């Protein structure tokens, strides 16, 4: 587009970049959660309260990972997809 002399519509580029970055943020958060739960499986058998506690901790950590990386997710679409 630049080579043709046309001016690119910057907002479309920002939206596309946000979408790519937010999808990567969801993937990264999900990997954190899944890896943590895989490690937890090695500790079985466990009491339900211990599994629940670890789930909550990993869920918070995954959300933090997503929030640090997410970009222009004003409606929380990507946060909801992580949950």
Tens of pLDDT, residues 14-72: 888 899 999 999 999 999 999 999 999 999 899 999 999 999 999 999 999 999 999 88
Tokens read off for 49: 């309260």
Which ranges of the chain does DSSP label H, i.e. alpha helix? Answer: 10-41, 48-69, 77-82
Q: Which of 34, 31, 79 is nearest to 54 (CA)?
A: 34
Reported pTM: 0.80
pLDDT at site 11:
76
Measured CA distances, 28 to 25, 35, 62 (Å): 5, 11, 8
């Amino acid at each position: 587009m630049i080579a043709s002399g046309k001016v690119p519509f910057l907002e479309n580029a920002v939206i596309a970049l946000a979408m790519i970055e937010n999808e990567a943020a969801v993937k990264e958060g999900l990997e954190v959660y899944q890896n943590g739960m895989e490690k937890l499986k090695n500790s079985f058998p466990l009491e339900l309260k211990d599994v629940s506690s670890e789930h909550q901790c990993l869920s918070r950590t995954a959300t933090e990972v997503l929030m640090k990386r997410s970009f222009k997710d004003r409606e929380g679409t990507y946060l909801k997809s992580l949950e």
